[in-house]
Amino acid sequence: MTGITAAATPRVAAGTATGPKSRTTTGAGTTGATAEGATRATPDGATGAKGKARGRRRLLLLGGGLALALVAGGGVAAYRTGFFSGVGEPVAFGKTQETAAAAVDMPKGVRMPTGPRAAFVRAARLPDGTQIAKTTLSGPKSGFTGDVWVWVPKEYDEPRYAKSAFPVLISLPGGRGYPTNYWGTGPGLGLQQAVADGVKAGTSLPFILVMPVINADTKHHFDGSDIPGQPKMGTWMADDVPDFTRANFRTFTSRDGWAFMGSSSGGFGAFKHVLKYPDRFKAVIASGVDIVPDSPLWKGNRKAMDENNPEKLAAELVRAGGPDVYVNFQIGTKESGREQVEKFMREYGKGPVHTRLQVIQDGEHNGKSYVRGMREGSLEWISKVMLAPTPDPDVP
């Protein structure tokens, strides 16, 4: 099922997880053809011909948090608003509420933190008092060690939600994707604020954002996959990071509480994980994404590549008849790639594979544009198919 839209949709209701209608409307500012001869920006800000290798696109979204905050127009403002005050101080989430809640019966479908607790330190503080925290995770299944950033909405620490799980949005960067994740190190990009504002407006669920590195070094991209002979980055993102999240936060036992989002190379990984593990993850926002694996590290290993190829994974899901997955693509009118996305939607957006395209007017291949697209419709669409936290009616 396909759609190209950002038309208004119903407000999100707590405790629901229902699929969007198969037909959607076209809204002003959400469709519109890509400009003829559109170009994609290169790392130094120049423009390159449409259709250049993905490596150039990856490098556009570099992982330096401060640099990206500046690009997003939030660099100086970030310091003025205190984003980086108290960096390095210990941070804990929900401990008081969870201790009290553990003494009573928990609602069905809610998993309390399983432990062991990670040692978090503050990476940034947002104007609403919420914090981005960082820790180092040694993945027991992948054998890879890397940093992970997390952000929880203010509702998570409210007593009325002490017995509720929260939906998780694993957020993957483009660019080098190592040793940082710019969604965590660049609060000026506005991802966290977009979620917080959407919660206030009733158009987004209060997602826990989990932001891991996606590559093992700065020289290679691993397609978010377990490439033979290379670090197991697929296992890192699809197994170790979710297990880490369950160890530290109140989460849903159902896949209806688990989703991915990502941009560029991170969008490919996010997109691929949902199609490969539909029993674990339900939905994805994939921005500026390529459709097939292309890392040179595959070295012609066709069988392994096919096992991580979204086209083949989607085709198999259609043949199997489910589970249903929800894929929200985003593309800017000032970047290339729309044709490939629409081709995928035509060929594979059927049966259990529900697809939607958020066209970002004047959007470029960068995080700032993609957050704008999320505000304009993608967050609301994905929120409609995910489980929402449920407040305790007996707690004010």
Q: Is residue 295 part of a domain?
A: yes
Is the pLDDT confidence value at 110 over 50? yes
Q: Is residue 154 part of a domain?
A: yes
Is the pLDDT confidence value at 108 over 50? yes
Give the Cα separation of 343 and 332 in Å (integer).
Answer: 16
Q: What is the 3-state secondary structure (H, E, C) of 299-367?
A: CCCHHHHHCCCHHHHHHHHHHHCCCCEEEEEEEECCCCCHHHHHHHHHHHCCCCEEEEEEEECCCCCCH
CA atoms within 13 A on the CB side of 64: 8
Beta bridge partners of 150: 133, 210
DSSP SS3 for 124: strand
Contact residues for 270 (Cβ-Cβ < 8 A; gap 6+): 170, 172, 224, 260, 261, 262, 284, 285, 286, 289
The domain that holds 82 is classified in CATH as 3.40.50.1820
Q: Is residue 265 part of a domain?
A: yes
Q: Is residue 306 part of a domain?
A: yes
Q: Which domain holds residue 340?
A: 70-383
pLDDT in tens, 124-151: 999 999 999 999 999 999 999 999 999 9
- Number of domains present in the structure of the chain: 1
Torsion of CA 326, 308, 210, 367, to 10 degrees: -80
Give the Cα separation of 216 and 145 in Å (integer).
Answer: 9
DSSP for residue 388: P
Q: Is residue 60 part of a domain?
A: no
| Cα separation values, 255 from 59, 73, 168, 180, Å | 32, 36, 10, 27
Q: Is residue 224 part of a domain?
A: yes
pLDDT recorded at residue 45: 28
Q: What is the mean pLDDT of the chain?
A: 83
* Token pair in block for residue 302: 């066709």
* Among the ranges given (42-56, 198-212, 372-386), the one the predictor scored with the smallest mean pLDDT: 42-56
Contact residues for 106 (Cβ-Cβ < 8 A; gap 6+): 112, 163
Is the pLDDT confidence value at 13 over 80? no
Q: Is residue 391 part of a domain?
A: no
For residue 228, name the pLDDT band (cuts at 50, 70, 90). very high
Q: Is residue 10 part of a domain?
A: no
